[in-house]
């Protein structure tokens, strides 16, 4: 949100500025809403997210700042779409919402590259560069692992009955020798 404030201070007030500030306020309110918070994964990874996954998310969050500053001289609807959808894709990915990995890894970079052709040249170059950078960083396997943690099928090991607590044996209806009663 700080980046949005920097861009808002650097750009002249025009209809795009008003739309961007309004949509930023809506995005902030929706980020803090209970339905979005309720969809999030409750327990984070014990080791923390991989470095590339953090870089991937932070690059999406910084897109409005970079594109906004690059297109200070003039912007259009394509610039607004690229700048406002990047943090949304980052949120979708970081909150592990359904489809968030594919939106952040493929859909947003593709849209940024396609919409770069419709933007004035400084903003278009920034949009294309950021789209390519996000795509390249997203190809790292750790970015996918952060979204889809590997699931390992558990192995079963025999535990001697003498080491098993009595209440567990009783619940399983097993005697002290490990046989069914």
- pLDDT digit string (tens) for 35-75? 877 766 565 556 778 899 999 999 999 999 999 899 887 78
Using the structure block, give the residue that is written with the tokens 């594109």.
67
Closest C-alpha among 35, 7, 42 to residue 21: 7
pLDDT band at 158 (very low <50, low <70, confident <90, very high): confident
Q: How far is 85 from 93, CA to CA, in rounded Å?
A: 12
Please give the average per-residue pLDDT across 76-96, as a whole number: 92
Nearest 5°: the CA angle 8, 71, 133 is 105
138 touches 105 (CB < 8 A): yes
More confident residue, 111 or 74: 111
Per the prediction, the chain carries an average pLDDT of 85
Least confident segment among 1-15, 33-47, 80-94, 101-115: 33-47
Q: Quick one: tokens of 12?
A: 């002249």
Q: Give me the helices (H) in the chain, please.
A: 2-10, 15-31, 34-38, 51-70, 77-94, 100-102, 108-116, 121-138, 141-147, 166-171
Asked if residue 95 has pLDDT above 90, the reply is no
| Secondary structure (3-state) at 109 | helix
Tens of pLDDT, residues 124-147: 999 999 999 999 999 999 999 888
Q: Which residue has the higher pLDDT, 119 or 158?
A: 119
Report the share of the chain in percent with pLDDT over 90: 41
Which residues, at least 6 apart from 160, have a Cβ–Cβ distance to it below 8 Å?
178
pLDDT at residue 42 in the model: 61
């Amino acid at each position: 949100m700080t980046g949005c404030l920097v861009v808002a201070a650097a750009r002249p007030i025009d209809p795009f500025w008003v739309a961007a500030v309004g949509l930023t306020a809506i995005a902030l309110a929706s980020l803090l809403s209970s339905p979005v918070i309720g969809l999030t994964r409750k327990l984070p990874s014990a080791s923390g997210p991989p470095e590339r996954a953090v870089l991937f998310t932070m690059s999406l969050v910084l897109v409005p700042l970079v594109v906004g500053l690059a297109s200070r001289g003039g912007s259009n609807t394509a610039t607004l779409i690229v700048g406002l959808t990047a943090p949304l894709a980052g949120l979708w990915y970081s909150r592990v919402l359904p489809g968030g990995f594919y939106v952040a890894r493929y859909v947003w970079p593709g849209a940024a590259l396609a919409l770069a052709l419709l933007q004035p040249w400084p903003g278009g170059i920034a949009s294309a560069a950021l789209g390519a950078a996000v795509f390249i960083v997203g190809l790292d396997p750790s970015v996918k692992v952060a979204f889809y943690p590997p699931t390992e099928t558990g192995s079963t090991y025999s535990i001697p009955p003498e080491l098993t607590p009595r209440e567990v044996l009783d619940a399983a209806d097993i005697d002290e020798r490990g046989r069914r009663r």
